[in-house]
Amino acid sequence: MTAPVATPLAAEPVFYLADEHAHAEGHSTMLGFWIYLMSDCLIFAILFATFGVLGGNYAAGPAPKDLFDLSLVAVNTGMLLMSSITYGFGMLQMQQGKVFGTQFWLLVTAVFGMCFIGIELYEFSHMIHEGATPQRSAFLSSFFTLVGTHGLHVTFGLVWLFTLVVQIGIKGLTSANRRRVMCLSMFWHFLDVVWIGVFTFVYLLGMLR
């Protein structure tokens, strides 16, 4: 009589539970915005490098000393720096939960930003009226591209500012609106840093060439 052969038991199914890490609300938004700022850094780095290579090619046309008004540029720089200060006041009001105060300082920031754009447009129109158009020389092409790209960013920031003021007025200082104010704060201060580079590298050093 043969002994019974033990049959192996069927393998029991094994279940794995996905243990996801908890992320704070809005984490992906802030991370995505930081990635965007890094890409913007690359864009401006390329534009600065281009100006560094082409900024001395005047093609027998006007040079920085013939075109730039440093006193006007200094006033414009002051406008943008003041807008960063007023935005900081808006952030303080937001942290205190004051809706009206936040809206007020954001609007003051917008006023300084519009003054900056207005002066820049005046400078561009004056240069073009004098015949210093982008196609006149490599220097002017790189100048208008770099400074114009920065001005376009400030314009987008102004649209964002006014949109935020309306959103805060409708929904208050919700967590989503607070994140938007913080993202715009990083964007606005980033534009200030870029402009300091433009003021130094394009205007000041340009006058020394």
Other beta carbons within 10 angstroms of residue 141's beta carbon come to 18
Residue 109 lies in a domain: yes
Burial of residue 155, with CB atoms counted within 10 A of its CB: 0-12 exposed, 13-18 middle, 19 or more buried = middle
Residue 12 lies in a domain: no
Residue 94 lies in a domain: yes
Give this prediction's pTM.
0.85
Residue 38 lies in a domain: yes
Q: For the chain, what is the domain count?
A: 1
Average pLDDT over residues 128-145: 94
The predicted pLDDT at position 104 comes to 97
Whole domain around residue 88: which residue ranges?
29-44+79-208
Q: How confident is the model at residue 35 (pLDDT cuts 50, 70, 90)?
A: very high
Residue 177 lies in a domain: yes
**Cβ–Cβ under 8 Å, residues 83 and 116:** yes
Share of the chain above pLDDT 70, in %: 87
Choose between 27 and 43: higher pLDDT: 43
Residue 128 lies in a domain: yes
**Cβ–Cβ under 8 Å, residues 150 and 191:** yes
Tokens of 84: 């960063």
> pLDDT (tens digit, 9 = 90+) per residue, 75-94?
999 999 999 999 999 999 99
Residue 118 lies in a domain: yes
- Position 124 pLDDT exceeds 80: yes
> pLDDT (tens digit, 9 = 90+) per residue, 177-200?
999 999 999 999 999 999 999 999
Q: What is the CATH number of the domain that holds 112?
A: 1.20.120.80
> pLDDT (tens digit, 9 = 90+) per residue, 151-175?
999 999 999 999 999 999 999 999 9
Tokens of 8: 């192996």
Residue 11 lies in a domain: no
Mean pLDDT of the chain: 89
